[in-house]
Amino acid sequence: MACILNREDRCATYRQFLNRHVDFPKSGGNNRIYCNRIMQRRGLTRPVCKLTNTFIHAPTGQVQAICRGAGRCHGRNFCDSNASFRLTTCRVAPGSRPGRCVYRARVQNRKIRVACNQRLPVHFERIL
């Protein structure tokens, strides 16, 4: 995916957001297998098992739109989506350890809050 921006650091932060939070179309597998696989594939199980992570199953353009008028912005840089998104939240199961992280999935259709920088999402804040 090309990121055509002036500043490389902003581009890197946006790419990091995409890696951590956008999976469209949703990768295959049942929900438990899905979380275990995607968390490992995306590098979220090392050096420690990330406790929780939410994936947005929508095209990047729809996620970007939250920061570009399709969201209600407030505070310094937070924007709430006007639309609901298909989401999968992966939560680490008790007893997990790096190299053997086990996750549980929760699937929802909800609005979200992201932090924006220069009209791009750079941080997933929470589900609304």
Query: Is 57 known to be catalytic?
Result: no
Q: Which secondary-structure segment (H or E) carries 34?
A: helix 31-41
What does the block give as tokens for 52?
A: 């929780």
Which amino acid, residue 17?
F
Query: Is 21 known to be catalytic?
Result: yes
Q: Which one, of 107, 81, 111, 127, lies nearest residue 26 by Cα?
A: 107
The C-alpha atoms of residue 26 and residue 31 are separated, in whole angstroms, by 11
Fill in the DSSP letter of residue 93. Answer: P
The C-alpha atoms of residue 7 and residue 64 are separated, in whole angstroms, by 17
Fill in the DSSP letter of residue 98. Answer: T
Residue in 57, 68, 106, 123 annotated catalytic: 123
Residue in 21, 38, 79, 90 annotated catalytic: 21
Beta strands 120-127 and 78-81, pairing class: unpaired
Q: Which residues are catalytic?
A: 21, 123
